[in-house]
Amino acid sequence: MQLEVDITGKTFRSAAGETHDVLAPVRFSLGAGEVGVLVGPSGCGKSTMLRIILGLDHDFQGEVTRPPNARIGMVFQEPRLLPWRSVEQNVRLVAPEIDDAKLAELFRILELEAHRSHYPGELSLGLARRVALARAFAVEPDLLVLDEPLASLDDALAGRLREEIATLVASRPVMTLLVTHSLDDAVRLGDRLFFLSPRPARILAEVPIAIPRDARGEAEIAAIKAGLERRTQSERAGRDVS
Amino acid sequence: MQLEVDITGKTFRSAAGETHDVLAPVRFSLGAGEVGVLVGPSGCGKSTMLRIILGLDHDFQGEVTRPPNARIGMVFQEPRLLPWRSVEQNVRLVAPEIDDAKLAELFRILELEAHRSHYPGELSLGLARRVALARAFAVEPDLLVLDEPLASLDDALAGRLREEIATLVASRPVMTLLVTHSLDDAVRLGDRLFFLSPRPARILAEVPIAIPRDARGEAEIAAIKAGLERRTQSERAGRDVS
Amino acid sequence: RAADTIRLAVQKTGTFSWELATIRANGLDKEANLSLAVTELASTEAGKIAMRAGNADIMLSDWLWVSRERSLGAKLTFYPYSSALGAVMVPASSPIKTLADLRGRKLAVAGGPIDKSWLLLQARMKQDGIDLKSDATIVYGAPPLLAAKALDGEMDASLNFWNFCAQLEAKGFRRLAGIEDILPKLGAKGPVSAVGYVFDETWAAGHRDAVARFIAMTRKAKQLLVTSDAAWEKVAPLTGTTDAAMLKTYRDRYRDGIPRRSIDDEEADARVLYRVLAEVGGRDLVGPAPELDPGTFYHAVPGD
Amino acid sequence: MLRLLSFALFLAIWWIAALFVGGAKLPSPPAVLQVMIGEAESGALFLHLGATLARVALAFVLAMSLGSAIGYLMGRVKFADRLGDPWLILLLNLPALVVIVLAYIWAGLTEAAAIAAIAINKLPTAVVTLREGTRALDRSLDEMATVFAMPRWRAFRHVVLPQLAPYIAAAARSGLSLVWKIVLVAELLGRPNGVGFEIGVAFQLFDTPRLLAYSLTFAAVVLVIETLLVQPFEARATRWRPRAA
Amino acid sequence: MLRLLSFALFLAIWWIAALFVGGAKLPSPPAVLQVMIGEAESGALFLHLGATLARVALAFVLAMSLGSAIGYLMGRVKFADRLGDPWLILLLNLPALVVIVLAYIWAGLTEAAAIAAIAINKLPTAVVTLREGTRALDRSLDEMATVFAMPRWRAFRHVVLPQLAPYIAAAARSGLSLVWKIVLVAELLGRPNGVGFEIGVAFQLFDTPRLLAYSLTFAAVVLVIETLLVQPFEARATRWRPRAA
Ligand SMILES: Nc1ncnc2c1ncn2[C@@H]1O[C@H](COP(=O)(O)OP(=O)(O)OP(=O)(O)O)[C@@H](O)[C@H]1O
Ligand SMILES: Nc1ncnc2c1ncn2[C@@H]1O[C@H](COP(=O)(O)OP(=O)(O)OP(=O)(O)O)[C@@H](O)[C@H]1O
Ligand SMILES: [Mg+2]
Ligand SMILES: [Mg+2]
């Protein structure tokens, strides 16, 4: 099982008639059990790339090969819940086979027990995002795509959920693609980090993290982060000089 | 000019018929030029409190006194743009008197120049949030309410926008109410931090920051943060024991 | 021998349903060895639809339309049913004394611009140099509505179908002129039956005997309605009124309208009136034929 | 409660108006009620109302289901929209009378012809409304359903249908009223029973109490169905909507 | 292009059908066209079409504006909804014939009576559609407008109206067709000109080519208006909608 991405370009034509190049050539692949992290400035084309990878947008140059019949779990950047279905129904509708114990467990982890019967309009944004996470986990995905899943959550909760994602990824051979603005999340969860340029996005640097996820202590993480920060600073300095 | 909040309670009745207490008694006030920061776990009632303060929800116990005729600038937790109006129109519609130079300046700061004529459906979430920020700034508010304004933005951009908010607050006697999950933002921007309990929200601690905003260097900020973290940890420990 | 079936399309509120009630009540259909399949319909035009759709063998219409259809290719044919025509009615106290007084007045015309009575009235007035269409204010409308409007006093005069005129008469209106009364001036030698049984020529050819029996049967029914007030008792509930005066007017007018002339006389007068109508109504009304189509009248009934 | 009050108000206004303009111009409520009772006792009311209701129900279901399907298709598929649009406009703007007459001529004075003609008259308005609804669908939810590989029918039922619900409600309400207006014409022109037939007869006799008795009986039936069935159902179906604060 | 093709297809099917069933049951396109040309040359076509279009336009504008306003109110204010609902259902389900007859009886056989009757027939369907649209409004955008103290009219125009647009479009399209169906009845019963009057005459003569000529001329007028005016406008107004990928 392997995800092959080879996009050579993507252009949007806006309603006003202008064209915007959103993706420059981007090429990478991801294996089962691997967590790829996309980090890049706001508006550079990350969500667009995810939509292409998931087959939601066919209007691009290049090729994407998804593992056939892979179950996909996705957390969109906005929750995208069905407003007319309760929290529980929203989850069950995409994962009809889920058993009650599993669902209860999910809701417990995400602290959603009190909200099972609420409609999305009755949730805070953070709660809605958690429902979206529950939905993505509930399908037991082969390919998990997370577009800033931990935004709008408080640090404590975000930390616990990060652990959960790590557990999920460790327990089954899931391919994971994570978009985040948090270097901390990236370093704690990722196996390979892709740093993207501003629009049109291309891969500035691909940074593999050699230490296995469960062996990364606070010290290692701090070291990696420091290394990455030094790197981007020198790069930025380099660009400023050139 | 003063904002007086004295909420004694707020209860939601959900469509399923259950009642949820969302706010416990909460009482504080905010003067001109002050930045109050609300920090609390996801789903505790922060957005609900803001809606009550802004007069969008009248169904609560207690009283809120807003300065009369105060111009309000608000960044909702979701962008809430008009999908059928361009970026520029979205801003101009709430601030018809804004002059072109001012608008151009705003768009430059928020890096939106390329997107003036785009419709919201053509923006990334981060771009849409920036438009929402531009809109709130464009009205030259007396009362600025920001519900997680910097989520979904990359660190570099978030840092620059934090500076802009600080500049705005310094340049005019604006009352600012900021909701954030980032302790960093809170410490860099706030004059008084309100730490909220889980639902139903009440004020656990009110922490004034004595050092003026422009005098806070990296060292001071780190010290304040460390102090705050120690405090929450000991509190949590205390709660666990009791 | 099994009875021949004839399918009839009948307007429920029309006089044909009175006749049918009489036929049924007196067993005339069995006597004629006919089985009548009656479709009751709620409007005049519905009969034409039934005919065109092939759901009825006989319905009521006028020779004007039959001739027009013939000239357009549909071989229908006509046998006289009633010579009752509309009349111009005015309120009892109206200053209008003659037709010429209609000039400058508000005249309601039921049935629209191609109504026979209206066209005949126009032709008659033209003879006196009056163009009613421009000299009077004409209000077209649905017959029942115009009858109500006349009662309201919204109209100075109204030209309506005879049954509505009967209603007005019973309410005290004055009969300024019946259209049958002006026919002689237009060249007719006697009362002309504008309305008749209409059926398909080929169908009639195949059911010659049944048609003859049908017509004989209706004649008997008409005769009964003329002679027997008991027969009228049966019809009274169908007229939609319980008012004795109105019932009497209905009866008298109905009896007046029963055709009594020979078919050839009828046809000759129809030919004359057709020319008059063609002149007033133009091509829109009569179609491409300037003369009454020769086959319009059905002649194969014994005793005519 | 308020509904009842409002209804009582309607009766009161009617009654007062009738007293003012006189029974010839506007029959009073008791006069109409008396006719209703008379017709009900003779059984004629139920016969005609039943015949009409059956036609209305059949034509309505036919037109709504077919019209919604076509409207959905035209809203989704640009090609279908382009192709179908001129037909749609034509059908929309063909007078009821013409459609009914043609249907009767072609298919005979039959029940099937009547129902088909009525359905054809209503069809395009359902198409137009559902097409607008489909065009306004939220694409982001579609994407969600696609990504999670929701089976077609489940996605339609849970993702699309609730978004179309207000359009369906609008099409159904105004559609029922249209069907009802047209069934009368169809009955007038070629059916031997039904409310339209009776109204035609009442009109010929200018019997306004009868005219109103039959008209209002149908309205009353719809009112009862609305109050007891549709509105409770609707309230349940739109529970999720945030209420005004 | 596709529209033209589709239109040509319609003509072809019609023609072939006419050849099959014969001119008596369905006149062929040239036969109808000939009548159209004849009527156009005599000027009658323009006279009647003009009269009808004027009535349609007036009644349509009246009913749409009033109906939209009432529908918006009923969608927004629960009290108004409760109060108005029984009236609405009643009005919806009153047959066109009855309304027109009553209007003529009360207000005389006048132009005003005709237009009022037509408007009253269309009004409730506009109310029903706009009410659904208003109920489906996005409250979060309302809150935005309130917070930023947008003046009432500006908020209505920029926040509310675009959300109602698809409902207005649906109400207008199906409403125009309804007005057109009803204007014919009104003209048939008590006007001395107009397409309905001519159709009534043609119907009395059972002159199907004429019947079709007048019906189709109106449909053609609407088709032209749609193609040249409404659809380009609509395309501009919905530019913002994300297109299907
Ligand atoms: N309309 C409503 N009906 C019922 N419950 C509601 C409604 N709106 C909010 N709530 C509940 O109120 C609580 C607080 O919501 P609120 O949006 O204020 O949270 P928050 O503090 O802003 O959270 P977050 O950080 O996730 O945005 C939540 O538990 C939510 O479920
Ligand atoms: N439908 C569209 N039409 C035109 N331009 C579009 C469209 N969708 C996205 N874009 C443009 O493509 C660019 C990339 O958008 P995308 O959503 O992929 O950004 P992103 O990297 O996910 O940003 P963020 O971190 O803010 O979510 C943006 O500049 C946006 O304006
Ligand atoms: Mg994005
Ligand atoms: Mg919130």
DSSP chain A: -EEEEEEEEEEEE-TTS-EEEEE--EEEEEETT-EEEEE--TTSSHHHHHHHHTTS---SEEEEEPPTT--EEEE-SS----TTS-HHHHHHHH-TT--HHHHHHHHHHTT-GGGTT--GGGS-HHHHHHHHHHHHHHT--SEEEEESTTTTS-HHHHHHHHHHHHHHHHHTT-EEEEE-S-HHHHHHH-SEEEEEPSSSB-EEEEEE--S-GGG--HHHHHHHHHHHHHHHHHHHHHHHH-
The model's pLDDT over C162-204, given as tens digits with 9 standing for 90+, comes to 888 888 888 889 999 889 888 998 988 888 998 999 999 999 9
Rounded to whole angstroms, the Cα distance separating C84 from C72 reads: 27
Q: Is residue E106 over pLDDT 90? A: no
Taking the alpha carbons of E149, E154, E158, E159 in that order, is the dihedral positive or negative?
positive
C186, C120 contact by CB (below 8 A)? yes
Q: Which residue of B has its CA nearest to D245?
A: B57
Average pLDDT of chain C to the nearest whole number: 87
What does the angle CA C155 – CA C160 – CA C165 come to, to the nearest 5 degrees? 95
CA B128 to ligand 2: nearest atom? 26
User: Can you tell me whether residue D194 is helix, strand or coil?
Assistant: coil
How far does C140 lie from chain E, in Å, by closest CA? 5
User: Can you tell me whether residue C98 is helix, strand or coil?
Assistant: coil
Peptide bond preceding B200 in cis form (omega within 30 of 0):
yes
Question: Chain A interface, mutation test: which of D163, D168, D240, most A Cβ atoms within 10 Å?
Answer: D240
Rounded to whole angstroms, the Cα distance separating A170 from A183 reads: 21
Ligand 2 pocket test: which of A13, A19, A48 has the largest number of ligand atoms within 8 Å of its C-beta? A48
Q: What is the pLDDT of residue B14?
A: 85
Using a CB-CB distance cutoff of 8 angstroms, which residues of chain A are in contact with residue D159? Answer: 82
Q: How confident is the model at residue A92 (pLDDT cuts 50, 70, 90)?
A: very high
Instruction: Read off the pTM.
Output: 0.90
| Residue with the larger pLDDT of the pair A49 and E106 | A49
In which residue are the tokens 């239109």 written? Answer: E7
Chain D contact partners (≥3 CB pairs within 8 A): A, B, C, E
Q: What is the pLDDT of residue A184?
A: 87
Does chain C touch chain D (at least 3 C-beta pairs within 8 Å)? yes
Using a CB-CB distance cutoff of 8 angstroms, which residues of chain E are in contact with residue D6? Answer: 82-87
Q: What is the pLDDT of residue B242?
A: 43
Task: Please answer yes or no on whether C144 and D105 come within 8 Å at the CB atom.
Answer: no
Q: Which long-range contacts (CB under 8 A, 24 or more apart) does C182-186 make?
A: C182/C99, C182/C120, C182/C121, C182/C124, C183/C120, C183/C269, C183/C273, C185/C124, C185/C127, C186/C120, C186/C123, C186/C124, C186/C127, C186/C272, C186/C273, C186/C276
Q: Which residue of C has its CA nearest to D107?
A: C53
Average of per-residue pLDDT across B52-57: 93
In which residue are the tokens 């290692």 written? Answer: A220
Using a CB-CB distance cutoff of 8 angstroms, which residues of chain A are in contact with residue B40? Answer: 154
In which residue are the tokens 């409770």 written? Answer: D232
Using a CB-CB distance cutoff of 8 angstroms, which residues of chain B are in contact with residue A39? Answer: 154
Q: Is residue A235 over pLDDT 80? A: no
Using a CB-CB distance cutoff of 8 angstroms, which residues of chain B are in contact with residue A126? Answer: 42-43
Average of per-residue pLDDT across E106-128: 91
Task: Please answer yes or no on whether A15 and B124 come within 8 Å at the CB atom.
Answer: no
User: Can you tell me whether residue B116 is helix, strand or coil?
Assistant: coil
User: Can you tell me whether residue C41 is helix, strand or coil?
Assistant: strand
Q: How confident is the model at residue C2 (pLDDT cuts 50, 70, 90)?
A: low
Rounded to whole angstroms, the Cα distance separating D55 from D114 reads: 8
How far does C72 lie from chain E, in Å, by closest CA? 9
Question: Across chain D, which distance is largest between two alpha carbons, in Å?
Answer: 68
Rounded to whole angstroms, the Cα distance separating C288 from E209 reads: 14
Q: What is the pLDDT of residue E116?
A: 94
Q: Considering CB atoms only, which of D158, D239, D242 is closest to A93?
A: D158
Average of per-residue pLDDT across C55-59: 91
Q: What is the pLDDT of residue A22?
A: 92
The model's pLDDT over C118-155, given as tens digits with 9 standing for 90+, comes to 999 999 998 888 888 888 998 888 888 888 888 888 88
Residues 6+ apart with CB under 8 A from C284: C114, E201
Q: Considering CB atoms only, which of C13, C39, C49 is closest to D201?
A: C13
Q: What spacing in Å lies between the alpha carbon of B20 and ligand 1's midpoint?
A: 10
CA A77 to ligand 2: nearest atom? 27
Q: What spacing in Å lies between the alpha carbon of B47 and ligand 1's midpoint?
A: 7
What topology is assigned to A2-71+145-151+174-241 in CATH?
Answer: Rossmann fold (3.40.50)
Q: What is the pLDDT of residue B238?
A: 52
B230 close contact with E: CB closer than 8 A: no
Amino acid, single-letter form, for residue D145: A
D175, E178 contact by CB (below 8 A)? no
A3, A161 contact by CB (below 8 A)? no
Ligand nearest the Cα atom of residue A181? 2
Least confident of A162-171, B224-233, D57-66: B224-233
A91, A131 contact by CB (below 8 A)? yes
Tell the residue nearest (CA) to atom 10 of ligand 1. A122
Q: Is residue C302 over pLDDT 80? A: no
Using a CB-CB distance cutoff of 8 angstroms, which residues of chain D are in contact with residue C145? Answer: 206
Q: Which residue of E has its CA nearest to C72?
A: E24
Q: What is the pLDDT of residue C281?
A: 81
Q: What spacing in Å lies between the alpha carbon of B169 and ligand 4's midpoint?
A: 23
Ligand nearest the Cα atom of residue B201? 1
E-strand ranges in E7-47 read none
Question: Chain D interface, mutation test: which of E4, E100, E181, E212, most D Cβ atoms within 10 Å?
Answer: E181
Tell the residue nearest (CA) to atom 25 of ligand 1. B42
Least confident of A48-52, A144-148, A170-174: A170-174
Amino acid, single-letter form, for residue A185: D
How far apart are the two ends of chain D, measured CA to CA in Å? Answer: 23
Q: Which residue of D has its CA nearest to A139?
A: D148
Q: Is residue B237 over pLDDT 70? A: no
Rounded to whole angstroms, the Cα distance separating C188 from B18 reads: 90
User: Can you tell me whether residue B176 is helix, strand or coil?
Assistant: strand
Ligand 1 pocket test: which of A118, A122, A124, A131 has the largest number of ligand atoms within 8 Å of its C-beta? A124
Q: How confident is the model at residue A242 (pLDDT cuts 50, 70, 90)?
A: very low
Does chain E touch chain B (at least 3 C-beta pairs within 8 Å)? yes
CA B20 to ligand 1: nearest atom? 5
Q: Is residue E244 over pLDDT 60? A: no
Q: What spacing in Å lies between the alpha carbon of B46 and ligand 1's midpoint?
A: 8
Phi, psi for residue A176 in degrees, rounded to 5:
-125, 135
Task: Please answer yes or no on whether B15 and D240 come within 8 Å at the CB atom.
Answer: yes
C42 close contact with D: CB closer than 8 A: yes
Chain A contact partners (≥3 CB pairs within 8 A): B, D, E
Average of per-residue pLDDT across E103-131: 91
Residues 215-244 in E contacting A (C-alpha not used; CB under 8 Å): 239-240
Task: Please answer yes or no on whether D206 and C39 come within 8 Å at the CB atom.
Answer: no
Q: Is residue B240 over pLDDT 60? A: no
Below-50 pLDDT ranges, chain D: 245
Region of C134 (left: φ > 0; alpha: ψ -120 to 50; beta: rest) is alpha
Question: Chain C interface, mutation test: which of D185, D188, D191, D206, most C Cβ atoms within 10 Å?
Answer: D206
Residues 6+ apart with CB under 8 A from A26: A5, A6, A7, A49, A201, A202, A203
Residues 149-168 in B contacting E (C-alpha not used; CB under 8 Å): none
Average of per-residue pLDDT across C227-246: 82
Please state which architecture CATH assigns to domain E43-237: Orthogonal Bundle (1.10)
How far does B16 lie from chain A, in Å, by closest CA? 7
User: Can you tell me whether residue C12 is helix, strand or coil?
Assistant: coil
How far apart are the two ends of chain B, measured CA to CA in Å? Answer: 42
C260 close contact with E: CB closer than 8 A: no
Where do the structural domains in chain B lie, given as residue ranges? 2-71+145-151+174-241
Q: What does each C-alpha distance from B151 to A93, A129, B185, D222, E94 come to in angstroms?
A: 29, 13, 11, 52, 56
B121 close contact with E: CB closer than 8 A: yes
Q: What does each C-alpha distance from A155 to A22, A151, A159, A165, B229 come to in angstroms?
A: 32, 10, 6, 15, 12
Question: Chain B interface, mutation test: which of D142, D238, D239, D241, most B Cβ atoms within 10 Å?
Answer: D239
The residue count of chain A comes to 242
Q: What is the pLDDT of residue B126?
A: 92
Rounded to whole angstroms, the Cα distance separating D150 from D158 reads: 10
Q: What is the pLDDT of residue B239?
A: 53
Ligand 1 pocket test: which of B46, B58, B148, B203 has the largest number of ligand atoms within 8 Å of its C-beta? B46
Reduced DSSP (H G I as helix, E B as strand, rest coil) percent helix, strand, coil of chain E, to 5: 85, 0, 15
